[in-house]
Amino acid sequence: MNIRMEHDTMGEIAVPADRCWGAQTQRSLENFKISGERQPQEIITAFAYLKEACAIANARKGKLTEQQAHAIAAACREIRAGKWDGEFPLVVWQTGSGTQTNMNVNEVIAHLAASQGVPLHPNDHVNASQSSNDTYPSALHIAAALSVANQVLPAAERLAAAFARLEAAYPDLIRIGRTHLQDATPLRFSQEVSGWRELTAAPCRMLRAALEELCRLAIGGTAVGTGLNAPADYDGAVCKELRTLTGLDFQPDKNKFHALTSKDALVFAHGAMKALAANLMKIANDIRWQASGPRCGMGELHIPENEPGSSIMPGKVNPTQCEAVTMAAVQVMGNDAAIGFAASQGNFQLNVFLPVSAYNFQQSARLLADAMESFRTHCVEGITPDVERMEENLQNSLMLVTCLTPKIGYEKAAECAKKALHEGTTLKEAVVSMGLLTEKEFEETVRPEKMV
């Protein structure tokens, strides 16, 4: 392997000649051979937004020349376009401040600028007016906000819209309700689907509220929150550029001592994603229970048959999309615990659990967005009710007796239901045989369409 020698404050180190990173990235590669999970690509993209905004702000504050700022910005645009993905090899399990990833980005940018004839120092120029202690928390928030705004929310909104279409398609279909996994009173199928729609839509409102907090950035706090080595109003200038670059309303966190050490906004935002995951678990379970069968289950819904379900049972088809959603939900719930623990570890002026927080948050965002897209296109949009099965179960339900309570009282109604159950008769037969109502009175009273 061809090498070149790079140096940092600890001396020289050999770096592969065909790579754009420098000494500090190489040291991290050699010192942290821990598992294989790399820094999320979303974090690298966020750094590329941040470094470009910082460069422009530095030029306007007189800390970089226009040429230097343009060279940094050009490199950042190439990084965001994915041209240099292989130059960011560092694992999650490194320094808890993310310093080595910040320097990885600085070194690559400096190398790319030098290749275009603009010599830059990764610390003095690319990292001007910055510290890893304010850049990684800022990149963490930028990445989280972009993922929520551009991935999770659009996927959730499309899924909610799919449920709205299913809701509108069957406005008059009545089915039996179920509580405690037992028969309950009737409801319209559209009413049940409206619940699924709102289970998807409600966490979106929570995520939008969380976006405001995620858009508060630590940038400008530098090492401990005092803003040492950063020009006046630098934080505002950086955020102004970020708003232009991303379209999101990034603002400086007014208290940098809070911003550097607290990850409460990330906990809040991920909590909303956990709420979405919990609701998706409920929806997927409802659908797979109601689609169970085809002959010996509930069988009230038909879902798309996408692939064979068994390697031994011919003809078996399983609710695989529902299963994928529920597994994704479980992972998001686990990630939420990790993020909560990590956020509790802010010691003095810095939280040093940043990369693991980024890794878990971004995995949750990707999982939710992808799972909702797959669930919508391969399951929800193909759901149809088994109208005959729903009608049969509706008419066979003993809980229709509930509407008789005003006429015959709770205890007599319960006696009728138990009699029908134990004797294997219909509810009408039980009520009439007990002399509580005539057949005509029963039919006039027990009208499912009036019970919904």
User: Among 180, 190, 258, 378, which one carries the catalytic annotation?
Assistant: 180
User: Among 115, 310, 344, 433, which one carries the catalytic annotation?
Assistant: 310
Maximum pairwise Cα distance, the chain: 99
For 28, phi and psi rounded to 5 degrees? -65, -40
Distance CA(141)–CA(178), nearest Å, equals 42
Contacts for 94 with CB less than 8 Å, ≥ 6 apart: 28, 32, 34, 100, 101, 355
Reported as a single tens digit per residue, the pLDDT across 23-68 is 999 999 999 999 999 999 999 999 999 999 999 999 999 999 999 9
Contacts for 19 with CB less than 8 Å, ≥ 6 apart: 87
Reported as a single tens digit per residue, the pLDDT across 62-106 is 999 999 999 999 999 999 999 999 999 999 999 999 999 999 999
Contacts for 136 with CB less than 8 Å, ≥ 6 apart: 97, 98, 99, 101, 102, 354, 355
Which residue, among 156, 164, 168, 148, has the nearest Cα to 202 in the 3D structure? 156
Q: Would you call 111 a catalytic residue per the annotation?
A: no
Q: Would you call 270 a catalytic residue per the annotation?
A: no
What pTM, to 2 d.p., does this model score?
A: 0.96
* Confidence band for 386, pLDDT divided at 50, 70 and 90: very high
What average pLDDT does the chain have?
Answer: 97
Tokens of 112: 């790319």
Distance CA(269)–CA(252), nearest Å, equals 18
